[in-house]
Structure 1
Amino acid sequence: MNWILTSTGKHFDLFEPDADMIDPRDISHSLAHLCRFNGHTREFYSVAQHSCIVAELVPEEHKLAALLHDAPEAYLGDMTRPLKQWISTYQHFEDCIWWRICEHFDIAPELPACIHKADLIALATERRDLMPTDPAIWDCLVGIEPMVEIIRPWPAAEARLTYYQQLMDQLAIEHRRKAA
């Protein structure tokens, strides 16, 4: 069996992903139920909320890609960064699914630098607000300042609805922009 059953009842083939099988409802549902940091936060904090925060930190023209930057995790799960760097096969699957997501939503596969920076700002803020206190230096966060705002984690249902609404809003904006 090479597929997973999604929340909308689709059989999503992980070995041969199909852009037509990508569904915003599946992405919203799954990311809202995936906890960041492999669940080691002080309280539940979803990948969906993280993606919404990243989208808030980028210019309007990059918000759709920012919302979707972790969307492959809806189909693969969230793997910790250190392990992801060592498992090249995982990166292949993540890239293949990312390309199908980009095809489905008509976005460029190469994420702009502002999304990478926003992702790190969100990470610095998450570390400050949601993780146990630890004096270790995270090399990827050297020189990155967290947001001023404090993150208050959303329950999964709120994360799903908020993420889905923001995704639909951005899709409508993109549709209007491309039609103009």
Structure 2
Amino acid sequence: MKVMNASGRLIDPFNLQPEDFDPRIIAQTLSRVCRFWSQTSEFYSVAQHCLVMESLFDDIELKKWALGHEIFEGLTGMDIPSPIKHSPAMESYRRAEERALEQLADIYGLPKPMPKAIKLYDKRLMVTEALRFMNTVNFDWTQIADPLPLKVIGKPLSMAEAQQQFLVRWYELFEM
């Protein structure tokens, strides 16, 4: 199965190649994908989520992992909600996502596996974002993890702002 990305390149999301990991495509895609299955009160991109994640760390390797931890979404445009992603029907998706993270580590010289701190802060940031952008009437998001201070999110960025800031930060961190 092959799909076309913004560059016109055909990629197979379940068999990604090193040349598929184009930071320009990743930045464009993540800046257009809205968090929480687009059910937010206002547009908040996965690119901005990654930028906020990166800002939470001081260690350079953690910063790189934080910026790149949504790589599969950046290559495919699919941000699947956790309850769906963790269903048995999504096993091949989860395996492809894990392979993409391993490939990111191989391509950019990051330690494997992705550090536990990234997973922990990703969950905490998700709760924080949910408290800011999602309906909290019927669900207690804090049962998932302790939120971070809401101010870490800042104002929502436009698609263009998120794309530009993500790409600039990518080039700075990965010294491209």
1:67 correspondence with 2:67: yes
**Other-structure match for 2:84:** 83
Q: Which residue of 2 aligns with 1:140?
A: 144
Contact kept? 1:99, 1:109, Cα under 8 Å: yes
One-letter amino acid of the structure 1 residue matched with residue 127 of structure 2: A
Q: Is the 8 A contact 1:125 1:151 kept in 2?
A: no
Q: Separation in 1 of the partners of 2:134 and 2:150? A: 17
In structure 1, how many angstroms separate the alpha carbons of the residues matched to 2:58 and 2:135? 31
Tell whether the 8 Å contact from 1:35 to 1:44 is kept in structure 2 after alignment. Answer: yes
Measure, in 1, the Cα distance between the counterparts of 2:133 and 2:13: 31
Q: Is the 8 A contact 2:125 2:147 kept in 1?
A: no
1:131 to 125, 131, 134: 134
Note the C-alpha offset of 1:39.
0.2
Structure-to-structure mapping, 1:148-159, within 5 angstroms: 148-149=150-151, 151-159=154-162
How far does the alpha carbon of each residue in 1:75-132 deviate from its partner, in whole angstroms, 9 at most, with x for none?
2310010000012111112122222222222223412222122212311221121112
5+ residue gaps in structure 2? Answer: none
Query: How much has 1:49 moved relative to structure 2?
Result: 0.1
Q: Name the TM-score, length of structure 1 as normaliser.
A: 0.86
Q: % of aligned pairs identical?
A: 26
For the 8 Å contact 1:27–1:71, the answer to whether it is kept is: yes
CA distance in 2, matches of 1:107, 1:3: 27
**How well do the aligned residues superpose, as a CA RMSD in angstroms?**
1.7
Give, in angstroms, the shift of residue 47 of structure 1.
0.2
1:92 matched to 2:95: yes
**Paired position in structure 2 for 1:122:** 125
Q: What stretches of structure 1 of length at least 5 have no aligned partner?
A: 176-180
Give the match's secondary structure for 2:144: helix
The number of residue pairs the alignment matches comes to 170
Residue pairs, 1:158-169, within 5 angstroms: 158-169=161-172
How many Å apart are 1:57 and its aligned residue? Answer: 0.7
